[in-house]
Amino acid sequence: MKKPILPLMYTFCLLVLGILLAATPADNNGYQVGDTARDFKLKNVDGKMVSMASYKDAKGFIVTFTCNTCPYSVAYEDRIIALHKKYAPKGYPVIAINPNDVSVSPKDSYAHMQQRAKEKNFPFAYLHDETQEITKTYGATRTPHLYIVQKQKDGKYKVAYIGTIDDNSREPDEVQKKYAEAALNELVAGKTVSQPNTKAIGCTIKWREA
């Protein structure tokens, strides 16, 4: 006697769904453009605790979730440095945050972060989100994943752009569209960002195993 096909398919679907849910953080919806972003206080590679409130004169921030180990993050390092050098004087410095769990990705340890920051002479803060709380709150899923936030008159931070830096993750000389720069230029000019969302391209964040 043949077994019913429908119950078997139903069981298979439930199994697949369970695997997907187990692999995805339950509270990783994060911010949307227009939301108010919370501040944070995380440890910088120089040992100091850094928050957005630490930058008294900033008009906003280029909050970049990145890491030491992802090839995409490595490919974007020079461009992130260039973004900081160009826009920090205009009030929008980079704050880089490493979201990866050390037990899953050992070379993303704090010591390795310090080493990488020294090798590349990072001119911006490079923070360690050891608990991954801020990463989950923002909703970052990949490295690199960019959030441009704008400081409001009340001191709060409004999310103005979420996504990728440009349209070529591997070949900087072949970039056609510089999404982050376009958004920052509009913000500096007092305009609304015309393309506030793009798809972040990179490695998946290494979440702490339960």
CB 167 within 8 A of CB 180: no
Q: Kindly state whether residue 178 falls inside one of the protein's structural domains.
A: yes
Cα separation of 181 and 118, whole Å? 26
- Measured distance CA(50)–CA(33) in Å, rounded: 24
Q: Is residue 6 part of a domain?
A: no
CATH of the domain at 40: 3.40.30.10
Q: Is 3 helix (H, G, I), strand (E, B) or coil?
A: coil
pLDDT in tens, 119-151: 999 999 999 999 999 999 999 999 999 999 999
Domain assignment present for 3: no
Q: What's the pTM?
A: 0.85
| Of 19, 34, 9, the residue nearest 159 (C-alpha) | 34
Count of domains forming the chain: 1
pLDDT digits (tens, 9 = 90+) for 15-70: 333 333 333 333 348 999 999 999 999 999 999 999 999 999 999 999 999 999 99
- Is 184 part of a structural domain of the chain? yes
Torsion sign (Cα): 23, 28, 33, 39? negative
Pairing of strands 60-65, 94-98: parallel
Residues 50 and 123: their CA atoms lie apart, in Å, by: 14
Domain holding 94, by residue range, is 27-204
Domain membership of residue 196 (yes or no) is yes
- Is 165 among the domain residues? yes
Which residue type is seen at 114? Answer: Q
